[in-house]
Amino acid sequence: MALINENYLKLPGNYLFSEIARRVEQFKAEHPKADMIRLGIGDVTRPLPGAVIEAMKKAVDEMGRPETFRGYGPEQGYDFLAKKIIENDLTPRGIEAAVDEVFVSDGAKSDTANFQELFGLNNIFAVTDPVYPVYVDSNVMAGRTGVHKDGKFDRVVYLPCTEENGMKPALPSARVDMIYLCFPNNPTGMTLSREELKKWVDHARENRSIILFDAAYEAFIREDGVPHSIFEIEGAREVAVEFRSFSKTAGFTGTRCAYTIVPKEVKVYDAKGEGYSLNSLWLRRQTTKFNGVSYPVQAAAAAVYSEEGKKQVKELIDYYMENARIIREGLRKAGYKVFGGVNAPYIWMKTPDQLSSWDFFDRLMRTANVVGTPGAGFGANGEGYFRLTAFGTRENTIEALERIATKM
């Protein structure tokens, strides 16, 4: 008899997006003529930049000729892409990284989910609340979270991000070994300043803990003084790993390419206190369990850094950030309290009239036919909040805000 990995039984169900889909389907069945606008899921709507498409086509042609055909590539990605990443994303910000510290992958979701494998099961980890659900769920599957009670796991340290603390988490009061941070944040759209991020790096250095830093939205940062990378902070190379993705930045959600920076200094320890390089461990993990991103996709990702590519990606981000401005200002004008949307494609709003986030979801769907994401789906501290995304089309974004202003 095959036994189940009982950790999977502890998962609190794929409640959020399936519940949203269920409610939308039901509403559409009752109101078949309703013109729904979806500003809920974090997927992009603009097509891939032209430079990316050109590079992908060329690479596909290369795969069709014996002299240029490529089979298995390096599991950690081609040097040509890692070099472009370093030259364009890291060096200009004063970040040093070697080619073998950049690991190309098929997604920041898989990397943030897989990385916990390198840590002992007795580690205690901290996450912000609300939070992107992948960090907690992947640790549940691994068996690192204890039991689920009253919406929380008893071995997870939740760091509340509330209006009182400006959506910026306080350092944990008890010792933790791993810390997941995501800034600019999904779902709140908020960021940390250099000084704020430095507190985390210092804390990690004092405790020999490791920060797993998700920078999937760094390209959306508009304000000066907001670090794009944790490695802009002194000492971070000793204690941090950073996840980045072409998904939101360059429209790769359906194409799949991302990268993770693992400095050689970062160490995890055995019971005797002997240190082991996370970089070597991640290489070992990836070479065993991953066979690399396809050549046409890596060639496409490299084109993001061509002159044309950079221009087109900038236009893409400008487009979404203009949507963010429309949503942020429109909501504010309509009397809502809003966060984010300045350095991130997410707008986090307080629900009016003390409504629960699901009650506001229903009201918005029924009254304005606009679909967003209830904050409660991201954690206990998301209750009473609601997320709208700037990834819709311009037309839909304008129309949605007009409806909110006039109908709600």
Nearest to ligand PLP by Cβ — which residue?
107
User: Is 291 annotated in some ligand binding site?
Assistant: yes
Tell me the closest approach of the beta carbon of residue 373 to ligand PLP, in angstroms. 12
Which one-letter amino acid corresponds to residue 309?
A: G
Residue 7 C-alpha from the chain's centroid: 24
Tell me the closest approach of the beta carbon of residue 179 to ligand PLP, in angstroms. 15
Burial class (CB in 10 A: 0-12, 13-18, 19+), 150: exposed
**Contacts to ligand PLP by CB under 6 A:** 42, 107-109, 132, 182, 186, 214, 216, 245, 247-248, 253, 258
Nearer to ligand PLP, 243 or 361 (CB): 243
Nearer to ligand PLP, 376 or 404 (CB): 376
Name the helix (H) or strand (E) containing 129: strand 125-129
Nearer to ligand PLP, 66 or 254 (CB): 254
Tell me the closest approach of the beta carbon of residue 16 to ligand PLP, in angstroms. 13
Nearer to ligand PLP, 216 or 347 (CB): 216
- Give 127's strand partners: 158, 180
Tell me which DSSP letter residue 45 carries: -
Q: Hey, how many other C-beta atoms are within 10 angstroms of the C-beta on 195?
A: 10
Nearer to ligand PLP, 182 or 400 (CB): 182
Tell me which DSSP letter residue 336 carries: -
Tell me the closest approach of the beta carbon of residue 120 to ligand PLP, in angstroms. 24
The size of the chain, in residues, is: 408
Q: Which residues of 366-379 are buried (b: 16+ CB within 10 A; e: fewer)?
A: eebbbbbbbbbbbb
Tell me the closest approach of the beta carbon of residue 105 to ligand PLP, in angstroms. 8
Residues 6+ apart with CB under 8 A from 183: 190, 191, 192, 197, 213, 214, 215, 217
User: Is 153 annotated in some ligand binding site?
Assistant: no
User: Is 245 annotated in some ligand binding site?
Assistant: yes
Nearer to ligand PLP, 181 or 349 (CB): 181
User: Is 5 annotated in some ligand binding site?
Assistant: no
Nearer to ligand PLP, 243 or 368 (CB): 243
User: Is 256 annotated in some ligand binding site?
Assistant: yes
Look at the block and give the residue holding tokens 């998700």.
Answer: 214
Tokens of 405: 């202003």
SS3 349: strand
Q: What is the CA radius of gyration of the chain?
A: 22
Tell me the closest approach of the beta carbon of residue 43 to ligand PLP, in angstroms. 8
Which one-letter amino acid corresponds to residue 388?
A: L
User: Is 186 annotated in some ligand binding site?
Assistant: yes
User: Is 346 annotated in some ligand binding site?
Assistant: no
Tell me the closest approach of the beta carbon of residue 293 to ligand PLP, in angstroms. 11
Which residues define the annotated binding site for pyridoxal 5'-phosphate? 72, 108-109, 132, 186, 217, 245-247, 256, 291
Which residues define the annotated binding site for substrate? 15, 42, 109, 132, 186, 291, 387
Which residues define the annotated binding site? 15, 42, 72, 108-109, 132, 186, 217, 245-247, 256, 291, 387
